[in-house]
Amino acid sequence: MAFDTLEQSADEMDDRRRELVSLARLVTYARNSAKDLKVEFSTYCLDLALGALLEEMTKSGVGDVEAAEQEDHAPSFISTMSH
């Protein structure tokens, strides 16, 4: 029974990581669009949101770009950030 709990927890963590990566990609797209439109305050707010997501990803073990790419998450959004 303990093995099932561990397996379920690992699956839940993997789902969480994928969802965080998806959110970060979405926010990155919105941020880049706002930047292209020269909407400075929206760009700033989306930068903050992206920073918060990256912090959550680091806590979940996705913060390392190389490790995330090996897990097929391919976080291309990290390379587009300009902090």
pLDDT band at 2 (very low <50, low <70, confident <90, very high): low
In this predicted structure, the answer to whether residue 83 has a pLDDT above a threshold of 70 is no
pLDDT number for residue 73: 38
Domain count, the chain: 1
Q: Please state the rounded mean pLDDT for residues 13-32.
A: 94
Q: What is the pLDDT of residues 28-81, one digit of tens each?
A: 999 999 999 999 999 999 999 999 999 999 988 875 543 443 444 334 444 444
The reply to whether 28 falls in a domain is yes
- Listed in order, strand segments (DSSP E) in 1-83 are none
Of 83, 26, 78, which is closest to residue 54 (Cα–Cα)? 78
- What 3-state class would DSSP assign to 4? helix
The reply to whether 17 falls in a domain is yes
The reply to whether 48 falls in a domain is yes
Of 15, 11, 17, 8, which is closest to residue 74 (Cα–Cα)? 17
pTM score above 0.85: no
* Enclosing domain of residue 62: 13-73
- Count of helix runs (H) and strand runs (E) in the chain: 3, 0
